Structure 1
């Protein structure tokens, strides 16, 4: 430990709760995308069965709307999962695919079916015009919703977390404390503020206690004490509370 206690900073890591929420949301998102792609496959099958050659516009429009609804739902769920457990921006490939996967899946779910509608020579011209235009519009809308324009990253959360911890320690308005980083920031701020005195094997409540008389004492945070193998608290807590002047257990 150092005598001058530095600000404690560390990389943000998703909590177990955040990881569980992200996993659940991603599962639901994948299920929605499977339904959307299933709707596309059903539409393609019906095309090759010539079910849309002489009408059936309501069925075709229903398929297109259903694909859009499930694709958009999957995109929103996937984005929510990424807010709980983002990728590292430094891992460029993973960062791109994790954040833009919704847009990619949406294109896969729409483009083949829309292409068939626009190129089918046997379809009624009115059905082709309406269904083709609607399909293209829904594809664009769902894809735009799937795009992550300002995706979260571990690096961004780390910056926000440490800024939040600094605000908590200094009593400033906690403008950087989003729900995604608040718990970890509070942990850092609390740990950094927990000043301890320590010898090589134990932590004490302050430097003025009798067991530390004539000994070399370092001060710092709990994290710093652990780093120097002072991994246990003193066994004389009640005595040290009195010697340190604590009227309430700390």
Structure 2
């Protein structure tokens, strides 16, 4: 990875992040599985609309209304569609942390990182509309199924949102900053922590009660971490590392890369 001068980090050209072949391959696998799961969710939605919710005249007459078994089947479909949508979103977001998009392409960056939320809406909105428009269900069946659809749709949509998406620029900048401050691209993090640290001697690592991991910044992002701690001055002292004179510029460089 190209190194930028530390004397004017904020003004340095943004380095380029390229995922390793292994990370790229893992991201591709995760995206393929996510797309398959999302496709299955949409297929089940269509089955629910065009088969489960359309009983024959004989069934309606025999059951004096919408058959109860079809109603229970509809509720099961709603649950399964929600699970497929959410698992797909988790895999998709993990892939985006292995192989992130660039902020220089804002439309692609937004769509790629928030695609899970759009898929969740696509997998539920038509179904919810059809439930409330259904003339065969009684009011109780319609209200319960409709409420279940709305709740699961909201949960799936929120699960699909990446509130802090990773960009190529952020990954590159943070990897380079760690290399400049520590001497190598190596950070430490805990299973429950949101940020990563510069050394094993950092107080948050020393006081950890969960599993501690280490590796390059790219591995930390793949594990779902937000980036390096912004308490760099304190952590450099704890790690017995020199504090560069332009540390405020470096911290601002990281914030800018994160879109803060």
**Counterpart-to-counterpart distance in 2, 1:40 and 1:71:** 11
Contact 1:89 1:95 in 2 (8 A): yes
In structure 2, relative to structure 1, the CA distance for the partners of 1:170 and 1:149 (3 Å cut) is: closer
Could you state the TM-score of these two structures normalised by the residue count of structure 2? 0.63
For residue 161 of structure 2, the aligned residue among 141, 147, 150 is: 147
**Counterpart-to-counterpart distance in 2, 1:17 and 1:124:** 54
Structure 1, gaps ≥5 residues long: 184-250
For residue 15 of structure 1, the aligned residue among 14, 20, 44 is: 20
Contact 1:164 1:182 in 2 (8 A): no
The equivalent of 1:54 in structure 2 is: 67
Structure 2, gaps ≥5 residues long: 7-11, 60-64, 189-196, 199-213, 221-260
Q: Secondary structure at the match of 2:165?
A: coil
Deviation digits for residues 169-197 of structure 1 (CA, Å, limit 9, x no counterpart): 289976268644369xxxxxxxxxxxxxx
Following superposition, the deviation at residue 54 of structure 1 comes to 3.4
**Structure 1, 163-172 or 53-62: larger mean CA deviation:** 163-172
Q: Does 1:35 align with 2:49?
A: no
For residue 113 of structure 1, the aligned residue among 100, 123, 127 is: 127
For residue 123 of structure 1, the aligned residue among 113, 118, 137 is: 137
RMSD: 2.7
For residue 171 of structure 2, the aligned residue among 146, 157, 160 is: 157
Deviation digits for residues 134-166 of structure 1 (CA, Å, limit 9, x no counterpart): 000000000000011110001111111111101
Deviation digits for residues 179-232 of structure 1 (CA, Å, limit 9, x no counterpart): 44369xxxxxxxxxxxxxxxxxxxxxxxxxxxxxxxxxxxxxxxxxxxxxxxxx
Following superposition, the deviation at residue 167 of structure 1 comes to 2.5
**Counterpart-to-counterpart distance in 2, 1:32 and 1:6:** 45
Give the total of aligned pairs.
179
Following superposition, the deviation at residue 48 of structure 1 comes to 3.6
In structure 2, relative to structure 1, the CA distance for the partners of 1:16 and 1:31 (3 Å cut) is: same
Deviation digits for residues 48-76 of structure 1 (CA, Å, limit 9, x no counterpart): 44578333221010000010010000000
**Following superposition of structure 1 onto structure 2, how do residues 67-106 of structure 1 map, counting pairs within 5 Å?**
67-106=81-120
**Counterpart-to-counterpart distance in 2, 1:118 and 1:182:** 46
**Following superposition of structure 1 onto structure 2, how do residues 157-236 of structure 1 map, counting pairs within 5 Å?**
157-169=171-183, 175=197, 179-181=216-218
**Counterpart-to-counterpart distance in 2, 1:60 and 1:16:** 43
